[in-house]
Structure 1
């Protein structure tokens, strides 16, 4: 594996070229000063929008400010992410964040003002100035919120309570990230050491079962000890969400959570029901896992153990990029050529170095280009991460190129489609060309586990959220015992009877940060199912699906997420895309069993 002592050792070709945003720090400073001036100018519109002309002036200036601020903020953020220890970069980011708070405060008057207008008045303003046609759809979309926005005085009270209402999430974050102390595990020298999260993700995949068991017990130890405290924070978060839904006149907390994306609750309910109707293949996979590991009893700490021993693939970055490009050939010549350009144009920061932010992401910067952060480890996971992030990058590239600023950004609901289509095409390519039986089994196992984590587990989490919110809406108590019971029942239902339960299993709810961002996780599952549906048709040579998928990548947020997907032939208001994805899972499991 290629390792570098310092960032200076990394070839220029594998580092971001941030001069694409600002050629010098002086240019950044100029824009930073400009942001401050424009913020004051926007503030002056409070109480002074009384015609189509003044409304257009405000919206035009607000969009211009938003664009300039994005450049200022992203430049600072990317500089920090390549070396989080650099205090000069940190100071730039702090200044950018401060500017962001000022903008938010200066423009907070606008939404209450807009929703105080009636539609006839807004139409009159739009008729006065044709420049407002550009903003029309956005303005009227805001009107969807009209029945959920309170009077000016009530909004002020709710906004003052904002910090208090979000405190359960903050409290859990402090417990989970700062205060939690895991139990001890035995290190390679036979000494006891306190386990870390990083160690856990490695140890739970260890081939030695005793190592896995010890890591599992040490990981859950603090969560079980803090069960009542964490139950109290989660209960408060759920109840706060239910109260806000009531205050804002939503029929339920679930419908409040889905409102922004204009998704009917039937889509959410259909996802859960369809997954459970097709759960047999998941149970079958659990049985195969027990059999392959040669165990009398399959426990939760066996669910991530590798089923194919001794396979470790070394895939250098250059080879990984070439493999990805070949795998994505079904997406057409233009897609592949753009991908090749990205590598040479330094859109990707490739290597792990001291102080660099961990993980991977894509950031599409309008008017510049996508920036992709990797920490490439020359292994199979890194190859999949590369294909995943380049899916996001191509989505950003096409949307930014084909959409105006106002509709260029795409919603999280559709974001995972582009990344997962790439991963499905990649696994298909690798399986087709691989002749070594153990490697083929390893690839299949890798994809099945990803499928399980992104679809089945997220649907299980989504059902947990739905059940806990429903209890709160009925005024039922929520405590550790109630959470345990719901989580344990769901875990049994989704994983089948093959798993023998340890005491810790039922405490799974206590470690999930996503539960403090309600009704969000289902988007992973719908995105994954949509991508499986599309990639399967593209691989079958369906030209119409390919054309509509490439159009989808160019669409940004020019329509609501469900409608954008419908244009590709994926209708999430029906069970079909979920059924097709689960059928594919069943085929993968059978193929793995036969190998």
Structure 2
């Protein structure tokens, strides 16, 4: 167990290269100045789009600025995430956000203007000016939002409020990444050291139960201490979302959350109900875990320790990368070559360092390449995280390469499919390449835990979001006590009687960054179910599935998510993929029980 390193200690090949976006800060400042000046040009179009030519000029200018602004904003975000303690990086990010608000304000007139235009008139403009054909689909998609767009004055006010409305998320981010100080734990030499996230991910899997308990208590300690502050930020975030949804005329915040992807509420509700109908498999697994660990009471800090002792292995980053390349062979030579190229080309920031943003993510930069943040810990979980994020990175690469800027950005809904297909291929590969019953049981245990975390836990989170937003819509108070009641009730429903409740559990809501991106987490569960379906067909050597899947990765945001998934053979509106995935889970539990 070692303390986190500084960035200077990490070799260059394991850090991303921001110079691929901007060679230096001077180049960033130059673009910042240019975008700032062009924001003023955008303002001049208000009231002056009078024909097809001026409409094309406006759209061409705003696309050019938007692409350049995205480079500014992403560069500042990545630089800040390298070390969230650095004030100059914080300032750069704030400046980019403020510029984004100014750009949004300058463009806020356009949607009300467009939706006031007769559709036949717009069709005439497109016929008259060939360049408008590039924007045609996007323009007509805007009419779907017609009843949710406010007046020009109201849109401008909301645009000005952009920074204030994002304050709860930003505040939680600073608390969670920069200010949080975990309690102390005992290292291998008997010394007290301050816990880090990376250490926690290892300690919570330690075979020594006292170490797990100590880490669990130390990890949760600051969240309990800050419960009222964090409850305030989460409550504000939910209320902001509810208020904005109401102002825009959506029946509910949930319907607003699903509107952009054109997903029916029935898909969300069916996900929740299907999960609850299949909790028996989860309960069976918890009973196996309790029995295998030989404990009288199964506690939350017992949920991550592998059930098969002695099988946990250190997996170096290089070995993890090689394993990934072998496991993803069903995706074809082109895909594998792309992942090989990513490794040493400034795409991936690998190691946990002091002040670095926690967790993992991928972000695509149009015209450059993807950037992947990891906090790699040389273990099996880190191997899965690598495979997951590289799935996102490949998706970004294919979309950006094959789509124009206007349709390159894919929905988060489909993003989770691309990452989870990789995870399913990995676990199937690992299971198929071991003859050792103990190792097979260990891997099955890991797969079940991944399923539990990616599906059941995310569905529980999704229900928490639904309930809290409905309470806010009904004008009911949201505070730490209320969040605790809701979270505890859901936790007990999803985990039954087999898992003994620890007081820290009810504060689980205080640790979840995704709650500040409303109605996001359910996409992990739908993505997981879709991925199991696609991966199983890929493993059966279905060439048509491979062709369709690669086309799906190249499609970006060129269609609605449910339509893109249908092209891969997955129809989420039927509920069949969800139920099939849950049957797979039940089968895994039965198989694990036999091996035990």
After TM superposition, the score normalised by the length of structure 1 is 0.88
Matched, 1:309 2:309: yes
Q: Is the 8 A contact 2:465 2:515 kept in 1?
A: yes
Aligned residue for 1:454?
Answer: 454
Corresponding position: 1:547 with 2:547 = yes
What is aligned with 1:130?
130
CA contact (8 A) 1:416 1:524 kept: yes
Q: 1:557 to 1:594 in 2, by over 3 A?
A: same
- Of 454-463 and 100-109, deviating more is 100-109
Q: Tell me if structure 2 keeps the 8 A contact 1:2–1:378.
A: no
- Report the Cα distance in structure 2 between the residues aligned to 1:195 and 1:365, rounded to whole angstroms: 34
Q: Deviations over 1:151-197 (max 9, x none)?
A: 33444555566666666556656666677676665565667677665
CA deviations on 1:273-322 (whole Å, 9 max, x unpaired) are 11111221111111111011101111222222232223332333333222
- Tell me the SS of whatever aligns to 1:573: helix
Would you say 1:119 and 2:135 are equivalent positions? no
Residue range with higher mean Cα deviation, 47-56 or 197-206:
197-206
- Give matches, 1:414-563, under 5 Å: 414-476=414-476, 478=478, 482-563=482-563
Contact 1:4/1:10 (8 A) holds in 2: no
Deviates more, 1:475-484 or 1:275-284: 475-484
**Secondary structure of the residue that 2:568 maps to in structure 1?**
coil
- Cα deviation digits, residues 501-551 of structure 1 (max 9, x gap): 234433433443433432221111111111111111211222222221111
CA change 1:157–1:337 in 2 (3 A) is closer
Distance 2:87 2:174 in 1: 24
Residues 179, 68 of structure 1: alpha-carbon distance in 2 compared, 3 angstrom cutoff: closer
CA contact (8 A) 1:308 1:441 kept: yes
Counterpart contact for 2:413–2:523, Cα < 8 Å: yes
Residues 5, 353 of structure 1: 8 Å contact kept: yes
Q: How many residues align?
A: 595
Q: List gaps (5 residues or longer) in structure 1.
A: none
Distance (whole Å) between structure 2 residues aligned to residue 32 and residue 470 of structure 1 = 41
Counterparts of 1:18-417 in structure 2 under 5 Å? Answer: 18=18, 20-22=20-22, 30-75=30-75, 77-78=77-78, 96-97=96-97, 99-156=99-156, 158=158, 169=169, 200-220=200-220, 234-235=234-235, 237-343=237-343, 345-351=345-351, 358-417=358-417
Distance 2:472 2:357 in 1: 39
Aligned alpha-carbon RMSD (Å): 3.5
Moved more, 432-441 or 81-90: 81-90
Measured after TM superposition, the shift of residue 262 of structure 1 is 1.2
Q: Is the 8 A contact 1:362 1:372 kept in 2?
A: yes
Distance (Å, rounded) in 2 between the aligned partners of 1:512 and 1:92: 26
In the superposition, the TM-score normalised over structure 2's length comes to 0.88
Q: CA deviation at 1:404?
A: 0.9
Instruction: State which drifts further: 113-122 or 488-497.
Output: 113-122
Alignment deviations for residues 113-162 of structure 1 (CA, whole Å, 9 cap, x no partner): 32333323333332331211111111122222211122334445555666
Distance 1:559 1:128 in 2: 26
User: Alpha-carbon deviations, 1:418-465, whole Å to 9, x = none?
Assistant: 111111111111111123333333322222211111110110111122
Q: What secondary structure is seen at the aligned counterpart in 2 of 1:362?
A: strand
**Cα distance in structure 1, aligned partners of 2:146 and 2:281:** 45
**Structure 1 residues 509 and 316 mapped into 2: Cα distance closer, same or farther (>3 Å)?**
closer
Q: How far apart are the structure 1 equivalents of 2:297 and 2:448?
A: 21
Distance 1:582 1:386 in 2: 25
The 3 A distance-change label for structure 1 pair 10 and 245 is closer
1:210 and 1:437 mapped to 2: Cα distance? 28
Residue 497 of structure 2: SS of its match in structure 1?
A: coil
2:238 and 2:469 in contact (8 A); partners too: yes
1:285 to 1:17, Cα distance in 2 relative to 1, 3 A: same
Q: Distance in 2 between matches of 1:549 and 1:535?
A: 10
Q: In structure 1, how many angstroms separate the alpha carbons of the residues matched to 2:448 and 2:312? A: 18
Mean CA deviation greater in 388-397 or 96-105: 96-105
Deviates more, 1:70-79 or 1:117-126: 70-79
Contact 1:391/1:419 (8 A) holds in 2: yes
Contact 1:76-1:96 within 8 A present in 2 as well:
yes
Are residues 112 and 220 of structure 1, via their aligned partners in 2, closer, same or farther at CA, if it must alter by over 3 Å?
same
> 201-210 vs 170-179, which deviates more?
170-179
Q: CA deviation at 1:376?
A: 3.8
SS in 2 for 1:372: strand
